[in-house]
A and B are shown apart, each in its own frame.
Chain A
Amino acid sequence: MIRPLLTTLLALSAVSLTAYAAPPALADAKVTLAYLSDPNWVKDGEKALAKKFEDQTGIAIDFQLVPSDQYFNVLKTKLNSGEAPDLFGGQSGVTDLTLNYNVEKNAVDLSSEPWAKLEDPMVAAQSTVNGKLYGLTYWDTLGYVWVVDYNKAMFKKYNLTPPKTYAEFKALCQKLLDNGIQPLYEPVSDGWHQVLWFPELGPRYEQVKPGLAEALNTNKAKFADSDIMKTDLTELKEMFDLGFFGKNALSDAWADRTKALSDGKVAMILATSSYPVELAKDYPTVKPDDYGVFVMPLADNQLLNVNPAGPTHFIYSGSSHIAEAKQFLDFLTNPENLQTYLDNEPAFLTLPFPGIKDKFSPELKAFMDAHKDARGTVYQTEVKYVNAQWMDIGKDVTAMFTGTEQPADVLANLDKRRADLAQAAKDPAWK
């Protein structure tokens, strides 16, 4: 009994040792980099470049795209559990890099990469913590401003002109509505778009009360005490209540933005300055010049809102393919690939790298020049602990639209969450 058992055990040991002595050819295994991101941050041009990268190097990129309303939850869960993918997308913004992504722990220092010195310094600064660069902002942050894009033909038909005040804006929206046109397309269901009407007006808040951002960052001021912010949210709620966003705003989605304005039933959309180019790409009967732009006129704002932060690539510090991931970022920032990316991406007008031929139209260039000295930085970048709670603000704004919260409640909740985040981060200003 024992002898056959021993013989069997010895045979099994021999087989396993033999197997161990001849491991599979791991060096020939194909490397696949997992890249987790929000689908709105990964353009078709990047996917095409990833294919080209795979053809050239054999390193495949596996894009794992999570819907916007769930993305931050999924990303933070993966980062907090130590199971993040090789690359992940996130919003840069120096005030929130540590809080949102804990980049000093979770991301690789990219300061010595060849492209690091070439990236626009204002943009690179938003991915830098304690002197180290952690991300590649592969986005048009300089030309990608959120403005109201309007249908020029509709405006001409109803004798409308770009408004300079909220009262003018409200009047023109009402006139459009009275004539059977939905004034604005506002996709509330994604949870993030409706928030733009609030912190993007940071330059206006700063104009009304200089130093407000600094006071907020040092806990010497609260959002709930700001009259100009209450005005902004009250006007936003009024726009919803008056039906300016249409009957289906709560279920409208950002993914349908070009379809919404293609049939002539909607006049305006809060989108980027390059939206008309996107629209023209999807609907060739539309020409980019059919649309004009003006700044968001809530709270009587006339300043251009600039955000030097934007969707950024980070390499996970726990990745087992850091070298390959760096190789991919290097490939993306190759001048030829940058130009190809820009040329094939209708949403972008420029990229934050030197030597790029931009796509500003003469009209848009004139608009940007007209606001050369009338601009400021948006509050989600300028003020700490705002961007980290973007989707929560979105929930509060939705609740405000449906009547379960008031504008004051939105601001009060914002302050509460800021205090929680600041205390969790052991911010000395919130002791």
Chain B
Amino acid sequence: MKIRSRYPRYFALPALLLYGTFFIIPSLSGIVYAFTDWSSYSDDVNFVGLKNFAKIFSPGEYYLAYFLNTFVFTGATIVLKTVLGLGLALLLNEGVKRFVNIYRVLIYRPVVLPFIVVGLIFRSILNPATGLLNTFLRAIGLDAIAMQWLVDPHIAIYSVVVVDSWKGVGYIMVILLAGLQTIPKDYYEAAEVDGANAWQRFRYLTVPLLMPAIAIVTVLNVLYGLRVFDIVYAMTNGGPGYATEVLSTGIFKSFSQGQYGLGTAISTILFLILIGAGYGVIRLLEPKPVGD
């Protein structure tokens, strides 16, 4: 008796049609507009070739700062969130014995807060004159480290990195904790019997077996970092000057200034970077077959 084990393929057609209409086609036509002078100031849309891209990569323009800030933000948040997330996951998996669920909830809570709320609250906390942080530091005699957190162009981006990491570390921790809990305890027992110390067990057992989870969080962090907008916009609006402008805030400003062709060109570049980065990270971190 023949058993039909699959739905007909044409069941997927309506979904594909919707996806194509509302995502694929606009995305592709967006790429086409990147090569035009489309703006709100004129009804004409003319092909201008690579003019928009030349402008973006021109040394005299400030767009290159957008790229630099985006990469700095992405790199810093990947490191911070992964290291802290792994540390917290290890603590909850092995170190802490009581109230584990409560700690997990407390660490995860910032994740559910809207970015705009977090951004505005920390903008107030980090105010160099009247903010809670500097007021506290001055009160305990640590005036020397009461910095201009969001107005010093050399450290503003790092202030945003720290706040974003505080908000997102719970999410990374949850993924890594799930990964840790899939590692059989027998492996650790066997390693202990063989004389492996804590660091050796971590390096030769935990990290390799946790690689799939680390790959997931790295990809997520890369894609999030390259597309970051809300937290930057809420905390600094790209300032002081252009010190914290990232690609997404640059795209937003181009569109709001009516320079659609230019904004689309930046979006296209970001799209290509996202594809390249995501693919690259996945390939780099995918487990190699045994024997290779």
Which residues in A have some Cβ–Cβ distance to B below 8 Å?
A: 69-70, 72-77, 79-80, 98-99, 102, 188-189, 191, 247-248, 250-252, 395-396, 398-399, 402, 404-405, 412-413, 416, 420-421, 423-426
B255 touches A251 (CB 8 A): no
A76 touches B258 (CB 8 A): yes
B240 touches A250 (CB 8 A): yes
Best-surrounded residue of A79, A395, A412 (most CB of chain B within 10 A)? A395
Q: Does B243 interact with chain A (Cβ within 8 Å)?
A: yes
Q: Which residue of B lies closest to A403 (CB)?
A: B153
- Write out the residue numbers on chain A whose beta carbons fall within 8 Å of the beta carbon of B10: none
Interfacial residues of chain B within 241-264, with CB under 8 A of chain A in the complex: 241-243, 252-253, 255-260
- Write out the residue numbers on chain B whose beta carbons fall within 8 Å of the beta carbon of A396: 241
Q: Smallest Cβ distance from A76 to chain B, in angstroms?
A: 4
Q: Smallest Cβ distance from B240 to chain A, in angstroms?
A: 5
- Write out the residue numbers on chain A whose beta carbons fall within 8 Å of the beta carbon of B62: 413
Q: Which size class do B's interface residues fall under? A: 20 to 34
B252 touches A73 (CB 8 A): yes
- Write out the residue numbers on chain A whose beta carbons fall within 8 Å of the beta carbon of B253: 73
Q: Does B239 interact with chain A (Cβ within 8 Å)?
A: yes
A395 touches B256 (CB 8 A): no
State the CA gap A75–B40 with chains docked (Å): 13
Q: Which residue of B lies closest to A422 (CB)?
A: B41
Q: Smallest Cβ distance from A255 to chain B, in angstroms?
A: 12
Q: A69-B237, A426-B42 in contact; A404/B153 too (CB < 8 A)?
A: yes
- Write out the residue numbers on chain B whose beta carbons fall within 8 Å of the beta carbon of A420: 259
Contacts A399-B243, A404-B243 aside, 9 further interface pairs with beta carbons under 8 A come to: A77-B252, A77-B256, A189-B239, A250-B128, A250-B240, A251-B151, A398-B240, A402-B241, A424-B39
Q: Smallest Cβ distance from B225 to chain A, in angstroms?
A: 22
- 1/0 per residue B13-40: CB within 8 Å of A? 0000000000000000000000001011
Q: Which residue of A lies closest to B126 (CB)?
A: A251
Q: Does B93 interact with chain A (Cβ within 8 Å)?
A: no
State the CA gap A92–B237 with chains docked (Å): 25
A73 touches B256 (CB 8 A): yes
A251 touches B127 (CB 8 A): yes
Q: Which residue of B lies closest to A79 (CB)?
A: B40
State the CA gap A98–B39 with chains docked (Å): 13
Q: Does B129 interact with chain A (Cβ within 8 Å)?
A: yes
State the CA gap A99–B41 with chains docked (Å): 6
